Amino acid sequence: MELSIGYWIGFFVFVLVMLMLDLLVFHKKDEAIRVKSAIKWSVFWIGLALVFNVFVYVVANNLWGEQFAKQKAMEFFTAYLIEKSLSVDNLFVFVMIFSFFAIDAKYQHRILFWGIIGAIVMRAIFIFAGVALIEKFTWVMYIFGAFLIYTGIHMLFEKENEKSFDPNKKLIIRLFRKIMPVSDDLSETRFFVRKNHRLYATRFFIVLLLIEMSDLIFAIDSIPAVLSVSKDPFIVYTSNIFAILGLRSLYFALSGIMQYFRYLKYALAFILSFIGVKMCLNEYAETFGSVFHIDNLTSLGVIIATLTVSIAASLWIKER
């Protein structure tokens, strides 16, 4: 779906306006986000994504016809659902990071806000690079598919919890501490402070750095998964951004009950592996004319069914 530059500019302006309203109007004070408010905001962001989904259909229908519009609308919705479901795994990491550094709940929204600014930039780089690679080297789809299968299998056996979680051991944090001094003053609520004419980073900035790093690692998994649905840069990027915009409210809505979704990790592992298999099969079918092909509607059904079963199992099966 080759759209004019005006659509891209309009989307970026829309995102910028929404972020400014969020920071300067609705959350201009540092305060803990209540679960009820977070749920309302989550519904708002999901509703906004669905409205944009309709916008994609209308624009594509006016420019290229109904059949093409249905395809693009399905691509956006499937890509958004994949990104949204996979982002839940990232929320578990956020919980552990904030808990480890004892960040008060009223400051978490501000840190996540600036983390999202960085994520928007990084996603653009990753998505356009990924699309360019696929257009030039179609066999890259096999690499992406194999990587997703490996990631899904690895996720099944990953055993990282709050007791063993120590961000200070991460390479990026150790390197940063060598480059710039870090203040251990727990009372500081800014990202940087100046002491004795010397600039120090605070634990708030360390947390922000870890949030950005976790999103970078998460993007390596999620973007190839979304590229299995669509290779259209506008569809891939906008679905990613809408999922990211609702990530903060989803975090505050679920942070208190994440322990009840203990089987969700297995669902996400299966989804990643399934999408990896889909990428390899579809690329093989397109290259050699094989009948083995998984369309987006089938993928959407599998993803919804897998998430539903995992959440139901988490709620119904009592933990020993």
199-204 mean pLDDT: 91
Q: Are 104 and 200 in contact (CB under 8 A)?
A: no
Residue 152 CA to residue 155 CA, distance in Å, equals 5
252-268 mean pLDDT: 78
Is the pLDDT confidence value at 183 over 70?
Answer: yes
Q: Residue 164's pLDDT is what?
A: 61
pLDDT, averaged across the chain: 86
Is the pLDDT confidence value at 258 over 80?
Answer: no
Q: Residue 10's pLDDT is what?
A: 94
Q: Are 101 and 203 in contact (CB under 8 A)?
A: yes
Identity of the highest mean pLDDT range in 55-59, 289-293, 311-315: 55-59
Is the pLDDT confidence value at 166 over 80?
Answer: no
Is the pLDDT confidence value at 218 over 80?
Answer: yes
Is the pLDDT confidence value at 80 over 60?
Answer: yes
Q: Residue 162's pLDDT is what?
A: 54
209-222 mean pLDDT: 86
250-265 mean pLDDT: 77
Please give the structure tokens belonging to residue 76.
Answer: 């956006």
Q: Residue 119's pLDDT is what?
A: 86
Residue 193 pairs in a beta bridge with: 200
Please tell me which residue, 256 or 195, carries the higher pLDDT value: 195
Residue 201 pairs in a beta bridge with: 182, 192
Return the minimum-mean-pLDDT range out of 17-31, 54-68, 189-203.
17-31
DSSP string for residues in 164-231: T--GGGSHHHHHHHHHS-B---TT--SSEEEETTEEEE-HHHHHHHHHHHHHHHHHHHHHHHHHTT--
Residue 49 phi, psi (nearest 5): -65, -40
147-171 mean pLDDT: 76
Is the pLDDT confidence value at 161 over 60?
Answer: no
Where residue 235 falls among pLDDT bands split at 50, 70, 90? very high
